[in-house]
Copies of this chain bind each other. A is one copy, B any other.
Amino acid sequence: MAKQTSYTMRDVARLAGVSISTVSAVVNNKGIVGPELTSVVKKAIAAMNFSPNAGARGLRTGRTHMLGLVVQDITNPFFVEALRGVEDQAIEHGYEVLVCNSNDQSALELRHLNALHTKRVDGILLAPTDSYAVRETLSQDRAPVVFIDCVPLKAKVNCVVTDNFDACYNGVRYLIGLGHQRIAVICGRLTHSTSIDRVEGCRKAMQESNLLLREEHLHHGDSHIESGYRIGLSLLQSSDPPTAIFTLNNRMALGILRAITELKVPCPSRVSVMSFDDADWAEVVSPSLTTIGQPSYEMGKDAVDLLLRSILPATEQAEAKPQQIPLKSTLRVRGSTGPVYKK
């Protein structure tokens, strides 16, 4: 079993009594082999349980039919949904997906990117850990890249992203409409274009209502439960607590909810909570969580489509100008947000 020596085309050719190229033609459905010979060959293939060696084929054709997907944090359900979209669409087109988790470390991300290059994947889907890092790795002679979720700053690239700015703008306007004035925003790391856009969206909505998103109302977390929990505790216990908390991702929201439960702060009567990213559990937590949902599955699908287009450029100009595919998010109002509390 350690042998791992499968049959080759030569073996099949020998058994079928034809030449290698005939077998090749059959395997690749060239449609130039006579029907009776075709069936003989196919029988031989089945008998030997032959399957072509993709490595050798790739060496010859220059295509591996593999896509690389590099995500910052596979622990985040958002990326799992995107992964599903990627996989489904990849399968559809005869591609396999090499999944890499950067675990929020640029160094690991770079390592993955290099490994993918060595594997000669035909294209890469990248949800980068850092929008500032200059990626020399995606220059020249390497596979085309499509960014998802988060994009590099000041660079025109192929990407598919949510309307982060608008989503947060609308979200905050909704909160303001409820009468909230002291709104705390808990953002992820500002090295993500995603976080930056979201914060800007919040800022604009507040400015329009002559409210300021003051420094003390903008809290920096990462994307994990713990940071949401810690920030939630300090926020709720402060002398002048916000009447609404908007977390820019759903796991921090989970932390906030835990803090709220522990402190027995009535929600939404005392404090409203809203979160970016929808989740399975959003309807079941108590209170159910108002969220802004992203079409993550579609994001994965669209990204593969875009990537495939630059892998197989129909026309030359098709790959000339980088394309941005914007996706719309939707506000799902549930139980955790309500009118502001009046003394």
A interface, CB within 8 angstroms of B = 1-7, 49, 51-56, 58-59, 62, 64, 66, 74-75, 77, 80-81, 83-84, 87, 91, 96-101, 108, 111, 114-120, 122, 140-144, 225, 251, 254, 257-258, 261, 279-281, 283-286, 310-313, 319
Contacts and interface: CB of A to CB of B under 8 A. Distances in A.
A270 B312 CA distance: 61
23 contacts: A2-B144, A2-B311, A3-B141, A4-B122, A4-B143, A6-B120, A51-B117, A51-B118, A53-B59, A55-B58, A55-B119, A59-B59, A66-B98, A66-B119, A74-B83, A80-B80, A83-B101, A87-B99, A87-B100, A97-B100, A254-B280, A257-B284, A286-B286
A319 B119 CA distance: 28
A12 to B, nearest CB: 14
A4 B285 contact: no
Given A55-B64, A75-B84, A120-B53, A98 B101 contact: no
Given A4-B141, A96-B100, 7 more contacts: A74-B87, A87-B99, A97-B99, A257-B284, A281-B284, A281-B285, A285-B285
Contact of A55 (B1, B55, B75, B115): B55
A57 to B, nearest CB: 9
